[in-house]
Amino acid sequence: MKALDIEAVQAFVLTADFKSFTRAAEALDTTQSAVSLKIKRLENGLGRRLLERTPRLVRLSADGNAFLGPARNLVAAHQGAVGSFGAERRRLVVGISHHIVGAELPLLLKRMGRAEPSVVIEMRVATSREVLEEFERGVIDAAIVLRHDNRRRDGETILEEAFGWMAAPDFEHHSGEPLRLATQAEPCSVRSMAVDALNAAGIDWTEVFVGGGIATTGAAVSAGLAVAALGKRVAPAGTIDVGPRLGLPSLPSRDVVLHSNVTDRPTKGALKTLAATIRATAD
C-alpha cells in the first residue's frame, strides 16, 4: 500500500465532520471538486469506500466509520510533528454576535481547535454593534455580526439568517392581552427590529423577560414565559415559530457577515473553519 496523503486524510476527516464536500472545501480554502478528488484517490489507495454519496447527503460507510478515528489521530500527529520546533502560538480574538451562536458553540470551538491547534482562540460574545465597534477600533481580529444597515457593505457573507417569533409549543396568548415578549438587553438591533415590527402592525406587547444572550432568552422561551424574535437556526430545540398562528408580522432576514484583518495562514485557517461550521448549521 502506498503512503497515505495527509492532505487527503484531512479532507476526509473534514468531510466526515461537516457531512458536506462544500463545507470541507471552504475550511480547506479549496474547491469541492478538489476535495472529492483527494478522497477518491484516498479510497482507491486503501481499496475501501469511505463515504456514501447521494445528491443530498454525505455519510460514512462502515469502512469510513472504522477509519475515521485513526485518520483523526493521524492528522493530529502530523500537526504535532509540524509544530514540534516550537512554532509561535498565535492568539486569535474573535467577536461574535450573541444572536449568531446557540447550542452549537462547543462544536464551533472544537472544530477550530482541531483545525489549527497552534492558535489560541479568544471569543467575545456581545451585540453586533458592540462587536463591530471593537473590530473598527482594532481591539479584536475578526467580527461575525448581523448586518442591520448599510453602514458597512464589506466583509464576507456567511449566510442569511431567518428570524421568527419563537415560542414553546404550548405557549398561550389570549386575545386582547398584550403579547408577552422576551428580549435582549438594550442596545440590541434584533430587539429594535421586533419592537418596530409589532408597533407598525399595531400589536400591543409587554416585556416580561430581558436576557443577556441566546442562552438566557432561549431559556425563557423554552419555559413558556414569552415569545422572542430569534434566528430559527439557533432557537432552542423544541421551540416553534408562532408568528403565523398569532397573526404576528413577518420579520426580515439578516446577513451574517465576517469581517477580518488577519493575514497569517493559521489564523485564516481557523476563521475559515469557523465560517464553514456556521454555514453547516444552516444546511
The CATH number of the domain where 11 resides is what? 1.10.10.10
Range of the domain at 40: 6-85
pLDDT digits (tens, 9 = 90+) for 232-263: 988 998 999 999 999 999 999 999 999 998 88
| 134 and 272 together in one domain | yes
The answer on pLDDT for 86 being more than 60 is no
Element (H, E) at 119: strand 119-126
The answer on pLDDT for 167 being more than 90 is yes
What does the longest C-alpha to C-alpha distance in the chain come to?
74
193 vs 143: CA distance, rounded Å: 21
The answer on pLDDT for 61 being more than 80 is yes
Per-residue buried b or exposed e for 222-232, using 16+ beta carbons within 10 Å of the residue's own CB: beebbbbbbbb
| 119 and 234 together in one domain | no
pLDDT digits (tens, 9 = 90+) for 4-25: 888 888 889 888 888 888 888 8
217 vs 106: CA distance, rounded Å: 19
Element (H, E) at 155: none
| 115 and 192 together in one domain | no
4 vs 40: CA distance, rounded Å: 13
Among 69, 70, 67, smallest CA distance to 49 is for: 67
Q: Among 56, 85, 114, which residue terminates a domain?
A: 85
| 196 and 185 together in one domain | yes
The CATH number of the domain where 224 resides is what? 3.40.190.10
Residue 209 confidence (pLDDT): 95
The answer on pLDDT for 56 being more than 90 is no
101 located within any domain: yes
AA identity, residue 169: P
Per-residue buried b or exposed e for 21-53, using 16+ beta carbons within 10 Å of the residue's own CB: bbbbbbbbeeeeeebbebbeebbeebeeebbee
Domain count, the chain: 3
Query: Residue 86, Cα to own-chain centre: how many angstroms?
Result: 31
272 located within any domain: yes
Looking at mean pLDDT, say which of 107-111, 183-187, 189-193, 267-271 comes out highest: 189-193
| 98 and 221 together in one domain | no
pLDDT > 70 in the chain, percent: 94
Q: For residue 121, how many other CB atoms are within 10 A of its CB?
A: 17
Where is average pLDDT lowest: 80-84, 129-133, 140-144, 257-261? 80-84
Report the DSSP pairing between strands 90-97 and 142-147: parallel
| 119 and 180 together in one domain | no
Q: Kindly provide the residue ranges of all beta strands, DSSP E only, lying in the chain, ordered along the sequence.
A: 51-53, 58-60, 90-97, 119-126, 142-147, 156-161, 163-167, 179-184, 205-211, 228-231, 240-241, 254-260
The answer on pLDDT for 218 being more than 70 is yes
| 101 and 239 together in one domain | no
Of residues 271 and 201, more confidence is placed in 201
What is the pLDDT of the chain when averaged over all its residues? 86
Q: Among 68, 85, 102, which residue terminates a domain?
A: 85
Of residues 169 and 114, more confidence is placed in 169
**Range 128-150 average pLDDT:** 90
Element (H, E) at 6: helix 6-18
1 located within any domain: no
| 220 and 274 together in one domain | no
| 209 and 75 together in one domain | no
| 56 and 123 together in one domain | no
**Range 214-235 average pLDDT:** 92
In DSSP terms, 259 is beta-bridged to 143
| 102 and 226 together in one domain | no
AA identity, residue 282: A
Q: What is the dihedral of CA 267, 272, 278, 281, to 10 degrees?
A: -130
Question: In the block, which residue shows the cell 445528491?
Answer: 55
> In the structure grid, which three cell numbers stand for residue 211, read together?
436576557
Question: In the block, which residue shows the cell 473553519?
Answer: 273
| 171 and 246 together in one domain | yes
**In the structure, what pLDDT confidence band is assigned to residue 88 with cuts at 50, 70 and 90?**
low
Residue 53 confidence (pLDDT): 80
> In the structure grid, which three cell numbers stand for residue 35, read together?
476535495
> In the structure grid, which three cell numbers stand for residue 193, read together?
427590529
Q: Among 33, 60, 85, which residue terminates a domain?
A: 85
**Residue 42 · residue 9 · CB < 8 Å:** yes
